[in-house]
Chains A and B, each alone.
Chain A
Amino acid sequence: MIFGLPVISVTIWLPILFGILVLATGDDKNAPLARILSLVGSVLGFLVTLPLYTGFDKTTSNMQFVEQHDWITRFNIHYYLGVDGISMLFILLNSFFTVIVVLAGWKVIEKRVAQYMASFLIMSGIINGVFGALDSMLFYVFWEAMLIPMFIIIGVWGGPNRIYATMKFFLYTLLGSLLMLVSLIYLYNLTGSFSILDFHQAAIPMSAQILIFIAFFFAFAVKVPMFPVHTWLPDAHVEAPTGGSVILAAIMLKVGAYGFLRFVLPITPDASHKLAGLMIALSLIAVVYIGLVALMQSDMKKLVAYSSISHMGFVTLGIFIFNAYGLEGALLQMLSHGFVAGALFLGIGVLYDRMHSRQIADYGGVVKKMPIFAAFFMLFAMANSGLPGTSAFVGEFMVLMGTIKVNFWYAFAAGTTLIFGAAYTLWLYKRVMFGEVTNKHVEELTDVNAREILIMTILAVIVLGMGLYPLPLSDVLHASVNDLLVHVAHSKLPL
C-alpha cells in the first residue's frame, strides 16, 4: 500500500495520470513545463514501484500485492492484478527506463514535446499493466493498448521511413494479438473465467493445446521477436526515435518472452513439450543466423537490432529447455539485455544527435573527440558480447549450463553466440571509435554532457553490479521459477 492505495494500481495509473497532465500543457510554448512535469511523473512512477521489491516475499510462488475487483461481470472479467517473481522485476525495469527515456529526450525532442513525453508516460503505465495483470482480458486490453503510443512515437518522431516501419510494427503485432484473443475466448469457454491462474488449472485436450500454442506463439513470438517473424524489428528500431528504440529493446521484447512464461508454458505444457524441438530450433537459428546477419550490417541501429534478436533467441532457448537454470538464465538475460541494449541504443542516440547519421561508414576515430563516451560505450559493447563481470554473462552462462544438461550440440550451437556476439560488437566498436578521422563532422564532435554522463553512469553501474553480484535479482526468481517448472512437468491433458 502507498498512502492507502494498492501498489500495482498506482504503478499503472500514476504515469498515465501524469501523461494526461503533460498532454494538457498544450503546444511547444510550454515545452519546459512539459519536460519537468514528465520528469517528475517518471521519477515518481519509478519510486512507487520500489515497494514491490522491498515488500516482496521471496519464499512463496503465490501472487503478491493482489488486487481483485469486478469489472465486466457479464463475462466474469475482473480487474485482477498481482505479481510474482517472474513479473515483478519487469515492472521495476520498465518504470526505470521511463525515467531514462525522458532524460534522453530532454533536449533532442524539439517538436511536440508534450505529446512525446506523454506517450512514453502513458505507455509506461500500460506496460506495467501488462506485467501486473492476472486477468487475461485485462492483460489483453493493456497488451493492445501498448501498441497505440508506440505506433505514434515511431510515426511522428521517427526517421525517414517511419511510416512504413510503424505500420508494419502495428499490423505484425496485431496479427498475433488477434489470434491470441481467439484462444483466450476459447479458454474462457472451457473454464468459465478469464483469470490466468484458472487457465493454469484447466485440462485441455492435445489437439486444442496445439492450436492454442500456435495462436499464442504468433502473439508472443512476434513480440520477442523469434525467427522467422522478426522482420518488423529492424525496421521499427531503425526508424524509431532513440527513446522509442530503448523502450522497444528494453521492455517490449521482454513482454513477448513474459507471455511465454505466463501463458504458454503453464497453460499448454503438453503442447510445449511436443513442440519444444521446433522452438529450440527457431531459437538456435535466431542465435546463429541472426548473429551472422548482424555482422553484415552497415547501420548501427540495425546491427544492435539484429543483436537483440540474437540475444532474445537465447532467452527463448532457455525457456524451452524446461529446467531451472534455463528459466532463471532466460529471465536474467531478459533483464540484462534490457539494460545493455537500452544503453547501446542510447549511445547510438548520442552519436546520432550530433552527426545525424547511423551509418557505420560515416564514423571512425570518435574516441579522439569523445573519450568519455568511448569508455562508456566500451563497457556496454563488452556487456553485449557477454564478457564475464557484466550482467549479460550471468544469464548466458546459466542458459548454456541448462542447455548442456539437455543436449551438448544445442549448447554448442548456442555457445557460438559468444563468438559472433563479440565479433559484431567489437567490429562495430573498432569501426566507429578507432581508426583515423575521415569524416570532417567527426572532427567537430563534442563529448557527452552532464545529462548524458548521468544516464550512462547509472546504466554502467547497473550492468556491472548485476554482473558481479546477481543474487538480489536471482533470489527473487527462485520460488516462482520452481513453481513454473512444476506446472510444466505436470500434464494438462484431461484424464
Chain B
Amino acid sequence: MNLLANLIPASSEIFLLVMVCFILIADLMLTKSSKLFTYLLVQITLLGCSIITIVAHEPGVVYAFNNMYVADMMSDVLKLMSYLGVSMVLVYSRQYLMARGMFTGEFMSLALFALLGMNVMISANHFLTLYLGLELLSLSLYAMVALQRDSAVATEAAMKYFVLGALASGLLLYGMSMLYGATGSLELGAISDAISNGVQNKSLLAFGLVFIVSGLAFKLGVVPFHMWVPDVYHGAPTAMTMMIGSVPKLAAFAFVARILVEGLQGLSQDWTGMLIILSIASMALGNLSAIAQTNIKRMLAYSTITHMGFLLLGLISGGIEGYGASMFYAVAYVMMSLGAFGMIMILSRAGFEADTLDDFKGLNQRSPWLAFMMMLLMLSMAGIPPTIGFYAKFSVLHAIIQTGHVWLAVVAVMFSLIGAFYYLRIIKLMYFDAPESHVPIVVSSDTGLLITLNGLGVLFLGLMPGALMSICAVSVQQSLLLP
C-alpha cells in the first residue's frame, strides 16, 4: 500500500487537523470583537469535513496504516453525525458563551480537537489508535470544563473529571496490556482471530476483559462507574456540559462496539453477563436518582446514565438487530440531549443560569413555542410515541426480546415507567405552573431556528424512523459483522 492510499481513508481527519491548527494560529491575530470570524471558519471546517467524508466514502471496509485505521460505513455515518452534532453545539452555545466572555478561539479549537479525537476513536482498528483518540477527546474535554477559571464549581468539576477519567484510562490501558499478553496483538482483528483459535492463558484474558469493561463503563458513565457524571454535568458551564453529554456518546458507542464486538466477539458470553449487570444497575440508579434532583443539569446527568444503560441492552442482544438498535439509540440520544441542553442555554442569559427545574415553570406562558419544543424533547426522552425516543427504545426492546431475554425487556420498561415521571414533571412545570420570572426570553434567530428544527426533527423522525433505522442497521452489518 502506498502512502496516498493510506491517507485517503483518513482524509477528513487530516483536513480537520490542518484546519484546527490554522484556526488556532489565525485566532491569535484576531481581536476580541472579531471572534465571529473564527466561529464561521469553524463551521466551514465542519462543512468541509462532511463533504470530504462523503466524497472519500468507499463501499466496503478499507483499512489503512497497517490495519491501525479503518474506514467503513459505520465510521462514516457516525462521523457525519458528529460533525452535525458539534456544529449544533456551537450554534446553541454561541450566545451563552458570548454573554459569559468565553466565546474564545480556545473553546472552538478545543471543540475541534475533541471532534478529532472522536473521529480517531470511531475509525480506530487498533488498541493504540483507540487509546490515542480517547485521550485526545478526554484531554480536550477536561480543558473545556476548566475554561471558566474563576468558577470554583467548574474547576472542581474539571478536577473530578480529570482524576476519574485518568483512572479509567489507566484501567483501560491495563486491560489492553493483559489482552496483548494473552493474544500477542493489539490489532482488533488479530485479537479476535487469536481468541477464536484458542488462547492458552484463559485467566489472563478474563482479567483483561474485566479491566476493559470497567474502563469502558467509566467512559460511558454507567453504574457503578458513574460517580463523575452528575458532578461534571452540574459543575461545567452548560455549553461544556452539552459538549460532554451529547456528541461523544456516538464515539463511545463506536469505541465499545469496536472493542467488544469486533475485537472480543469470542468472549461475548462473558461480557454480555457483565453488561447485563451494568445495564440494569444504570437503569435503576439513574432513574431513581433523577427523581430526586432539583437541578435540571443533574437530572439530565442521571437521565444520561439511564440512557446508556438502555444502549447497552442493544449490545447485550447482539446481531444486526442489537448493534443496529444501539447505534440508532446513540443517534437518537444525541439529538434529544442537544435539544435539552440547548433549551437550558436559551433560557439562560447574562449572569443567570436557568439550570434549576423551577426555571422551567410557566414556560408555556412565557413562550408557547419553546415550551412545545421542550415537551417534544422530554416526551422523546421518556420514549413516548410519536417521537424518535420511542423508536430508539422500541428497537432495543425488539432486539432484546428476539434473543429471548423477555424478562430483561420487562425490567427495562418498568424502569422507563419510573423515568417517565421526571420527564413529565418538566412538562408539568412548563404547562401547569405559573411562571416565576417574567423576564422576556431573547432568542437569536439562529438558535431559534435550530431548536425548532431539533424539536420538529425529534417528532418527524418519530413519525418516519424507517430510513435512519435502516442506515444504522446497514452500517452495523457492513462494519461489525463481516465474516
CA gap between A166 and B431 in the complex, in Å: 12
Binds A, one of B86-94, B234-242, B244-252, B383-391: B383-391
CA gap between A284 and B419 in the complex, in Å: 35
Interface residues on A, range: 35 or more
- B421 on the interface (CB 8 Å rule)? yes
CA gap between A292 and B417 in the complex, in Å: 33
Contact A144 B424 (CB under 8 A): no
Selected from A74, A144, A163, A185, the residue in CB contact (under 8 A) with B384 is A144
Q: Which residues of B contact A75 (CB under 8 A)?
A: 395, 398, 469
Selected from B385, B406, B424, the residue in CB contact (under 8 A) with A170 is B424
Query: Distance in Å from the Cβ of B471 to the closest Cβ of chain A?
Result: 10
Q: A151-B427, A185-B398, A185-B401 given as contacts; is B385 within 8 A of A74 (CB)?
A: no
CA gap between A137 and B379 in the complex, in Å: 18
Q: Which residues of A contact B432 (CB under 8 A)?
A: 155-156, 162-163, 166
CA gap between A166 and B427 in the complex, in Å: 12
- Digit string of B372-402 for contact with A (CB within 8 Å is 1, else 0)? 0000000100001110001000110110011
Contact B417 A188 (CB under 8 A): no
Q: Which residues of B contact A147 (CB under 8 A)?
A: 384
Contact A141 B385 (CB under 8 A): yes
Contact A179 B398 (CB under 8 A): no
- B68 on the interface (CB 8 Å rule)? no
Query: Distance in Å from the Cβ of A174 to the closest Cβ of chain B?
Result: 6
Q: Which residues of B contact A495 (CB under 8 A)?
A: none
Q: Which residues of A contact B395 (CB under 8 A)?
A: 75
Query: Distance in Å from the Cβ of A194 to the closest Cβ of chain B?
Result: 10
Q: Which residues of B contact A152 (CB under 8 A)?
A: 427, 431
- Digit string of B199-223 for contact with A (CB within 8 Å is 1, else 0)? 0000000000000000000000000
Contact B397 A145 (CB under 8 A): no
Contact A74 B420 (CB under 8 A): no
Contact B401 A189 (CB under 8 A): yes
Q: Which residues of B contact A66 (CB under 8 A)?
A: none
Q: A178-B413, A182-B397, A189-B402 given as contacts; is B420 within 8 A of A170 (CB)?
A: yes
Q: Which residues of A contact B424 (CB under 8 A)?
A: 151, 167, 170-171
- A148 on the interface (CB 8 Å rule)? yes
Q: Which residues of A contact B417 (CB under 8 A)?
A: 171, 174-175, 178
- A293 on the interface (CB 8 Å rule)? no
- B48 on the interface (CB 8 Å rule)? no
Contact B466 A185 (CB under 8 A): no
- A73 on the interface (CB 8 Å rule)? yes
Contact A74 B473 (CB under 8 A): yes
Q: Which residues of B contact A151 (CB under 8 A)?
A: 424, 427
Query: Distance in Å from the Cβ of B424 to the closest Cβ of chain A?
Result: 6
Q: Which residues of B contact A171 (CB under 8 A)?
A: 417, 420-421, 424
CA gap between A73 and B464 in the complex, in Å: 11
- Digit string of A78-115 for contact with B (CB within 8 Å is 1, else 0)? 00000000000000000000000000000000000001
CA gap between A145 and B386 in the complex, in Å: 7
Selected from A74, A155, A211, the residue in CB contact (under 8 A) with B428 is A155
Query: Distance in Å from the Cβ of A150 to the closest Cβ of chain B?
Result: 12
- A412 on the interface (CB 8 Å rule)? no
Query: In the complex, how many residues of chain B place their beta carbon closer than 8 angstroms to a beta carbon of chain A?
Result: 31
Contact A182 B402 (CB under 8 A): no
Query: Distance in Å from the Cβ of A124 to the closest Cβ of chain B?
Result: 16
Contact B394 A174 (CB under 8 A): no
Selected from A72, A141, A156, A179, the residue in CB contact (under 8 A) with B466 is A72
CA gap between A133 and B390 in the complex, in Å: 18
- A181 on the interface (CB 8 Å rule)? yes
Contact A178 B428 (CB under 8 A): no
Residues 135-185 (chain A) with a chain B CB within 8 angstroms: 137, 140-141, 144-145, 147-148, 151-152, 155-156, 162-163, 166-167, 170-171, 174-175, 178-179, 181-182, 185
Q: A151-B427, A162-B432, A182-B406 given as contacts; is B390 within 8 A of A144 (CB)?
A: yes
Query: Distance in Å from the Cβ of A24 to the closest Cβ of chain B?
Result: 11
- Digit string of B464-479 for contact with A (CB within 8 Å is 1, else 0)? 0110011001000000
Selected from A71, A140, A163, A182, the residue in CB contact (under 8 A) with B410 is A182
Shortest Cβ distance from A180 into B: residue? B413
Residues 309-323 (chain A) with a chain B CB within 8 angstroms: none
Selected from B394, B431, B466, the residue in CB contact (under 8 A) with A73 is B466
Q: Which residues of A contact B410 (CB under 8 A)?
A: 179, 182
Residues 425-483 (chain B) with a chain A CB within 8 angstroms: 427-428, 431-432, 465-466, 469-470, 473
Shortest Cβ distance from B415 into A: residue? A178
CA gap between A379 and B384 in the complex, in Å: 41
Contact A74 B466 (CB under 8 A): yes
The interface centre, meaning the residue of A137, A167, A170, A185 with most chain B CB atoms within 10 A of its CB, is A185
- A186 on the interface (CB 8 Å rule)? yes
Contact B413 A145 (CB under 8 A): no
Q: A144-B385, A185-B398 given as contacts; is B428 within 8 A of A163 (CB)?
A: yes
CA gap between A145 and B459 in the complex, in Å: 12
CA gap between A73 and B466 in the complex, in Å: 7
- B276 on the interface (CB 8 Å rule)? no
CA gap between A405 and B126 in the complex, in Å: 74
Q: Which residues of A contact B414 (CB under 8 A)?
A: 178
Q: Which residues of B contact A178 (CB under 8 A)?
A: 413-414, 416-417
Q: Which residues of A contact B406 (CB under 8 A)?
A: 182, 186, 211
CA gap between A62 and B210 in the complex, in Å: 58
- B81 on the interface (CB 8 Å rule)? no
CA gap between A175 and B418 in the complex, in Å: 9
Q: Which residues of A contact B466 (CB under 8 A)?
A: 71-74
- B409 on the interface (CB 8 Å rule)? yes
Q: Which residues of A contact B390 (CB under 8 A)?
A: 141, 144
10 pairs of A and B residues whose beta carbons are closest in the complex = A178-B413, A141-B385, A72-B466, A155-B432, A185-B401, A144-B385, A185-B398, A74-B469, A182-B409, A74-B470
In the complex, 14 of the A-B residue pairs with CB atoms within 8 angstroms, ordered by the A residue number, are: A27-B368, A74-B466, A137-B394, A144-B390, A151-B424, A155-B432, A171-B417, A171-B424, A178-B413, A178-B416, A181-B394, A182-B397, A186-B406, A189-B402
